[in-house]
Structure formats: structure tokens, C-alpha cells
Amino acid sequence: MKNLLISTGGSGGHVVPATILYEHLSDEFNVFMTSDDRGIKFLNKDKYNIKIINVPKISKNIFLLPIQFFLILGLIFKSFFFLKNKKIEILISTGGYMSLPLCIASRILNIKLFLFEPNMVLGKSNKFFINSCIKIFCYTDKIKNFPNSLKNKISLIPALLRKEFYSTKLHESKNEDINLLIVGGSQGAKLFDTIVMESIIKISKKYKLKIFQQTSFKNYKYLKRFYLESNIESELFDFNENIANFMCKSNMCIT
């Protein structure tokens, strides 16, 4: 089997997709993973084959630039020898500055580079390597700041779901009660408040639903009226309320 490396780190938005890719690709590749100190807190060291390559956040302070340059240069050498020693043939980067040294080293070693961009705006790291990657995996081809001349590199994929989701057996009974939690940040909230409505209506015709939804104050009345008219039980909460406390209060707490 070929040796494949997934480079990730930083926030859960980078790390979680990396773990899902890891699970799906482990049957066909020898998969390794790299992360920085921030991303490692989201990872189970016993479950994933992880190497820590900690990349400092690039400061805008011009007096620190020489120091950062040599730090990055050292990390590029470290990444070079890591890729070479592990005989990595394919690198998948989930974006972020923590992937810079590995992506640069992969170009020196002529390793196949693939990028992953789950957002609606092309990240700086992915934009930097878009010319040299084989493909960039995206959920949509309408990404802001994406060069029109390179859109042929986009490979559209469905939303990533954990491997166990596909092996879950569907219940035959359609009379079960389902509690559905919908959460979204300030930028994505409007999307959830509108686009998912049609899907919820379809689901409510098959199952008895109770919706727990995070929304903005200005959309509260609209959603409350929508659920009442659709005969769907609901509880709404705003962005300022802690989700964990809300779930426990609503008897959805996991202990």
C-alpha cells in the first residue's frame, strides 16, 4: 500500500475533517497524520498515527520576521526528512499555516499534493499551493477568491461523514421520536435558518421531530412561527447561550 500523509492542526475545523479522511483512507493506504500543538488536543494519540510538527503562528511584527523565517526554514527541513523517511507518496493538506512546511517540502520531493477546502472562502495556505496541487477537494465550486483559471482543479465531494455513519443500520420503525439539534455560528446561521427548512419538512412527515435550534434574535420569531405552522415541536436558543448547558437543560445532556 502507498504511504499517505494528512497534514492538519489548529482548530477543530481543520482537525475533524482530517480524522474523517484518515478513517476512510486507512483501508487503502498506510495513513500518517501530522498536527501542531493546538490541533493535538482534538486527537486521540492511541487511535491515529500522529507526528507533531508545531508551526508558530506568523506574526505581523516586522522585528520578528527574521526569527520566524529561520524557524519556518528549520521546519521545512524537518518536514523534508520526515516525508523522506516515511516514504510518503501522497500528501493531503486540510489548510492552515501549520501545513506550510510540509507542503513546501512535498514540492521539493515531488510528492503528490492534494488540498481540502471546506469553506466558502479560499484559505491563504490553500491559495498559495493551488498552482502546484493535483486537486483541491471542495463542497462547492462557488468559492470566493478562487482563481477562475484554476477551477478545473476543483473536485466536488459530498459533506464528509464519519465511517461508522455508513455502517449504521437504519431502523425499520418510522414511529420513533427524534430530537434534532441544529447549531451554527453567526456566519452560517442564516443558512441553517432557511435552506434546511425544506429537509426538515420532509423528515417530519416520516418521524415525530423535536427541534433544538441555535439562531439569531432577529430570526427567532420567523422560526418559531414556521415550526408552529408545520406542527413541529421546537426549542430555540441564541448564540450567547452555552450549548452544553442548553442540552442538559433540555434533557439531551451526555454524561
* Residue 236: predicted pLDDT: 82
* Mean pLDDT value across residues 142-155: 93
Is the distance from CB of 91 to CB of 113 less than 8 angstroms?
A: yes
At 78-125, the pLDDT tens digits run 999 999 999 999 999 998 888 999 999 999 999 999 999 988 889 889
Q: Domain 170-249's class?
A: alpha beta
**Cα 63 to Cα 74: distance, rounded to the nearest angstrom:** 19
* Residue 84: predicted pLDDT: 96
At 220-250, the pLDDT tens digits run 788 888 889 889 998 887 655 444 455 555 5
At 155-214, the pLDDT tens digits run 999 888 888 877 766 555 555 678 888 766 544 455 555 667 778 888 888 888 888 887
> What is the torsion angle, in degrees rounded to the nearest 10, for the CA atoms of residue 158, residue 163, residue 165 and residue 169?
130
At 21-67, the pLDDT tens digits run 999 999 999 999 999 888 888 888 888 889 888 887 776 677 777 88
Does 3.20.20.70 match the CATH number of domain 2-163? no
DSSP H or E segment with residue 227: helix 217-229
pTM for this prediction: 0.70
Can 2-163 and 170-249 be said to share one CATH topology?
Answer: yes
Q: Which residue has the higher pLDDT, 74 or 240?
A: 74
Q: What is the DSSP string of 63-124?
A: TTHHHHHHHHHHHHHHHHHHHHHTT--EEEE--SGGGHHHHHHHHHTT-EEEEEE-SSB--H
Enumerate the domain spans of the chain: 2-163, 170-249
* Residue 188: predicted pLDDT: 46
Is the distance from CB of 138 to CB of 156 less than 8 angstroms?
A: yes
Quick one: 221 exposed, middle or buried, by C-beta within 10 A (0-12, 13-18, 19+)? exposed
